[in-house]
Amino acid sequence: MGNALIALIVAAGTIALVRIIVPALLRLAHDRDLLLYPTDPRQVHTSPIPKFGGIAMFMAFCGGIAITFMLPVERFPEEIERIVLLVTGAVIVAGVMLYDDLIGIAPLPKLAWQILAAGVMIVPRFRGEEHGLVIEQFTNPLGGMIELPLLFAIPITLLWIVGMMNTLNWVDGLDGLACTITLVATSVLFLHTFFRPPGDPQFTISLLAVALGAAVIGFISYNWHPARILMGDTGAMFLGFSLAVISIIGGAKIATALLALWVPILDVAWVIIYRILHGRSPLKADRGHLHHRLLDMGWTQPQIVLLFGGLSGTLGIASLLIPTPQMKLVLLILAGAAGVGVLALLARRAGPLFERQSTDA
């Protein structure tokens, strides 16, 4: 059985699972009144809507991984152990965030659970077990590789995983936005790992990107404007966690992931700095995100989502085509400078921010 056929089977099976699970969640939400009512100025919905649809993507993703083990896919034992860690961490994230979507969790305990989920991936390496996952090296833009001692590799990996979780959560402010960005990122990671030169196969890693991307494909039609269901923290945190882990599970692909996710990362960094400079807590929510500012200026939700998707796709494809780390670094700097300029201009034109009293961003 060819690799392309295996990937197609995994994708089809994962999409089918989402299409089965989401209608059941919709019925459950409306029957039990598990709905998000429009009481927050940041919300873009005018009627009650289910907000825990992300559990469908999590379940389908796990199902997609299970399908890969039913097919003739060869793996090293270390890969299997890392996939077990990935699923274990995803179970923690999805379970805790589902509780948050339905009942609610304070920000600091939520952060503690995020760190725990990231720790599942990291702790085995701290104990000297090879299947543990840390960013121990990355390409030096000036040439060669930079090796990190474990003392530095562990906090950097923790920051990467927890940071990605919160980046996807913060960008999940419009119908289909987090789904679109994740789909772009998984597509880039798939291309990066599937089409490898002889002697450097990473097909098994590409199947993880296939399963995650297919889960998003199955869900996005329910989440596209006007959305029938939201992914909630369950979906956004799960997507961020999975993207962060997949980008490093088969060897560091930080530059590729950074470029594909550069727009939401830059937006989150800008919002944090903007709030601090204006004397506000970085965790206190407002309408300062780029997608909110564009919405307030008259853009439609689909227009904003397509803009984010187009920019992320352009940078992601560029990361695959650019041959040297030096050129990738230059692109990151130029894209960052351009993004900061645009965000600063919008901050001057969009008017005052709408804030609320909660501490959850």
Can you give the pLDDT at residue 277?
Answer: 80
Q: How far apart are CA 359 and CA 333, in angstroms?
A: 32
Most confident of 35-39, 42-46, 273-277: 35-39
Provide the pLDDT confidence category of residue 148 given band limits of 50, 70 and 90.
confident
Provide the pLDDT confidence category of residue 201 given band limits of 50, 70 and 90.
low
Can you give the pLDDT at residue 273?
Answer: 85
Which has more pLDDT, 165 or 258? 165
Which has more pLDDT, 9 or 145? 9
Can you give the pLDDT at residue 278?
Answer: 77
pLDDT value at 133 more than 90: no
pLDDT value at 7 more than 90: yes
Which has more pLDDT, 69 or 354? 69
Query: Tokens for 78?
Result: 């270390």
Q: What is the pLDDT of residues 320-347, one digit of tens each?
A: 888 777 888 888 889 888 888 887 787 7
Find the mean pLDDT for residues 223-244. Answer: 96
pLDDT value at 70 more than 50: yes
Can you give the pLDDT at residue 351?
Answer: 53
How confident is the prediction for the chain on average, in pLDDT? 87
Percent of the chain past pLDDT 70, that is, above it, reads: 91
Can you give the pLDDT at residue 357?
Answer: 39
Percent of the chain past pLDDT 90, that is, above it, reads: 55
Q: What is the DSSP string of 92-139?
A: HHHHHHHHHHHT---HHHHHHHHHHHHHHHHHHHHTT-TTS----EEE
pLDDT value at 312 more than 60: yes
Provide the pLDDT confidence category of residue 142 given band limits of 50, 70 and 90.
low
Nearest to 259 by CA among 195, 203, 181, 201: 181
Residue 139 pairs in a beta bridge with 145
Helix 232-249 / helix 150-171 crossing angle, nearest 10 deg:
140
Q: What is the pLDDT of residues 249-306, one digit of tens each?
A: 866 577 788 888 999 998 888 888 878 887 887 777 777 788 888 888 889 999 999 9
141-178 residues labelled b (16+ CB within 10 A) or e (exposed) = beeeeeebeeeebbeebbebbbbbbbbbbbbbbbbbbb
Can you give the pLDDT at residue 250?
Answer: 64
